[in-house]
Amino acid sequence: MKKERAVITVIGEDHPGIIAAVTSACAELGINIEDLSQTVVQGILTMTLIVDITGKDLRELQRRLASVAEEQRVKIIAQHEDIFRYMHRI
């Protein structure tokens, strides 16, 4: 089966528990995190995760992350990686 990945981006005011909440949501759905990076500039967190969604339902992940976003008061976007791959790679 072709490997499918999603890119999760988290943007918002930094506070304890954001990474835990996002990664727990992935773990609960059995979704493996392949890459994670984050920066905090003037208190604003930007985090990107690349996750393996092969055989998983992206919409379910999006729904789960929407509730995490609400709890943590941050913006979370989960997109299939092809939109980035197409735009930046031939």
Partner 1 sequence: MLEREEILETLRMLLEERLDIRTVTLGVSLKDCASRDIDETCSLIEEKLLRVGSRLVSEAQALEEKYGIAIVNRRVAVTPLANVISPALHGVSGEEGREAAVRAALALERAAAKLEVDFIGGFSALVEKGFTPAEEALIDAIPEALSRTQRVCSSVNVATTRAGINMDAVLKMGEVVKRTSELDYRACARLVTFANAPGDNPFMAGAFHGEGEGEAALNVGISGPGVVRAVLEKHPEASLGEVAEVIKRTAFKITRVGELIGRELSRRLGVSFGIVDLSLAPTPFPGDSVAKIIEAMGIARCGAPGSVAALALLVDAVKKGGTMATSYVGGLSGAFIPVSEDAGMAEAAREGAITIDKLLAMTSVCSVGLDMVVLPASTSASTVSGLIADEAAIGVMNNKTTGVRVILAGKEGERVELGGLLGYAYVMPVSEHSCEAFVKRGGRIPSPIHGHRN
Instruction: Please identify, using beta-carbon distances, which residue of 29 and 77 lies nearer to partner 1.
Output: 77
Neighbouring residues of 26: CB distance < 8 A, sequence distance ≥ 6? 8, 32, 33, 49, 51, 61
Please give the Cα distance from 75 to 89 (Å, whole number).
26
Question: Closest distance between partner 1 and the C-beta of residue 84, in Å?
Answer: 5
Please give the Cα distance from 33 to 1 (Å, whole number).
18
Binding letters toward partner 1, positions 13-32, x by CB under 8 A: --------------------
Binding residues vs partner 1 (CB under 8 A):
7, 9, 34-35, 37, 46, 48, 50, 58-59, 62, 77-88
